[in-house]
Amino acid sequence: MCGICCAVNFSSSHVLESRLLQNLTKRGPHSSKEVRKRVGDVSCECLFSAHVLHMRGKLTPQPLEDTDGNVFLWNGEVFGGLDLGFEDNDTECLFHHLSSCSSPGDILSLLSNVRGPWAFIYYQAAKHCLWFGRDYFGRRSLLWRFGPREKFVIITSVAASLNGASDSPWQEVPAFGVYKLDLGENSQLSSLRLELYPWIYPGEKTPSVDELNWESLDNCVSLVMNDSGLCLASPISPMNMSVSQTISANTNTFGSQPTIEDLDAFLTCDQMKKVASQLIDVLSRAVQWRVQYLPYEDPATLMPNDKADVAILFSGGIDSMILALLAHRHVPSGKPIDLLNVAFRLQEPKRQKGPTKKMKNKKMTPDQANDLGEPLPSARFDVPDRITGRAGLQELCALSSDRKWNFVEINVTQEELQDMRQKHICHLVHPLETVLDDSIGCAVWFAARGIGFVKDGIEYRPFTSSAKVVLTGIGADEQLAGYSRHRVRYKAAGLEGLVQELAMELGRISSRNLGRDDRIIGDHGKEARFPYLDEEVVSFLNGLPVWEKAELSLPRGLGEKLLLRLAARQLGLCASAMLPKRAMQFGSRIAKLENSHEKASDKCSRLCAT
């Protein structure tokens, strides 16, 4: 995982803003390097800046540059599509392939084959062209900013919130395909012209730019479809839109409070049992790739240690429970797995700020410590996700007694939340700005930081997670009808409406969640990995009819994500397999901490940098 950036200036040299450079450096603590290139006879200068978090093979500083003058910046993971061993570095491998590409079609064919999350910037010296883009889902962040007066463009993994209004705001690069900026052509133009090479399914008609859901670009930029008609081949199968039948279950036999027996009844159906087993197999492979691709270490010099390489954003809900069990299959048995559980303490009435004379010589209980502003373990942090997280830990221990699970209780006070939001988080969430982005962005930032407490016996001790890989459950709700809005749509428009809603969810996930979460987690020098959005997993689920994925005529805790619940039962889970969906902002209680009357879609004034 890396922080990558390219600044192209057609009028003068460019110096990166200190805050932007600081945010890039935090993403890549192991190597930092800059390359400046004056582009041939073109009146243009490019500044390439890359900051590497060592995650694959041997440490490879970026930007990479070859003898032909090509420059490559890569922020991604190749989990398939190219022949790579565990000890190989994917950046070097991809650069070698790109440098041998003789046409745009060759470049697109190469990128179409890559399986895994990525964002890249590639300067093709012979053509004076800059290529850049994100993977199909936008699992890696990439932002752009254009200069309306001084003609420039900046492309970067992460930026910084701009104080006040700006005539050149940051925007997320839409994950609609790969973009090409012809530096020679653009040096002669008064405005910038970008070419798009879009993702399409085989046999699908190439869309026009107007058909894509663009965020408005500045007047100084024009975006056009490439003249050659070339496209990237979609890495996933189209969604099965069939609505011709419904699940073969008698819904009248289910009460309003579903039970394990209700869920087990579906497993008496051979087809449902078979599909649940297939989901386990494909999801297990996705988890395996994401927990085993780690920095290469020479076995001859490798020293044993008891620190975790892998952590999971963990609420004890079904998504994170399944990830934990599947990670247990593939992480070496002697290695612990960190379960990161975040909770926000509700504001309490004001109390005395210092200990009384009677308290000075006494050992403080956790509750007394929290009265003084210390985020120690306390019943005041027993939010819903903490309660289900502890219950989930007990289930995991019962099913995997040989595994050490570090259940990290991450407790956040309102004071620390406000401090870290203004210092760091607002810059990472930017350019997103809603109340929902604030709530989830802050919750994920504290969770991924991994600073909290673990319980040894009856005692708590401070703990900081060392894991550089952070697994998240994003994608499960979007594909398996886990949100309440899916039930609303189903009630209003039946299966046809539900299928359309799920297709829309998958299509917009890059702009709603993934870039933000990549910026947030990457700020700690850690890498977010998304097993539920593995291309093979998505293709498998897309191939199923909707009634094999969810049955929303059934009660909450049963009908939504039905297929995943059946998989959970086959893995041996009980109580967690029946938990209804609870959004992170409500489960962690951050949504109740500052203003309970806001709407999720409202613009959040707290994200404004000061």
Active site residues: 2
Residue 362 neighbours by CB distance under 10 Å = 10
Distance, CA of 28 to CA of 523 (rounded, Å): 9
Report residue 56 as tokens: 């694959």
Cα four-point dihedral sign 596, 599, 605, 607:
positive
DSSP letters for 576-599: GGGPPP--HHHHSSGGGTS-TT--
DSSP 22-63: HHHHHH--SEEEEEEEE-TTSS-EEEEEEEE---SBS---SS
d(CA 363, CA 375): 16
12 in helix, strand or coil?
A: coil
Of 128, 124, 52, 126, which Cα lies nearest the Cα of 91?
52
Query: Reduced to 3 DSSP states, what percent helix, strand and coil does the chain have, rounded to the nearest 5?
Result: 35, 20, 45
For 391, the token pair is 């219950």
Give the separation between CA 287 and CA 43, rounded to whole angstroms: 47
Q: How far is Cα 250 from Cα 300, in angstroms, rounded to an integer?
A: 60
Q: Residue 610: what residue type? A: T
Strands 337-344 and 405-412: parallel
Distance separating alpha carbons of residues 205 and 215, to the nearest angstrom? 22
Report how far residue 72's alpha carbon sits from residue 63's, in angstroms, rounded to the nearest whole number. Answer: 6
Q: What angle do CA 490, 495, 497 make, to 5 degrees?
A: 65
**Cα dihedral sign, 174-111-285-55:** negative
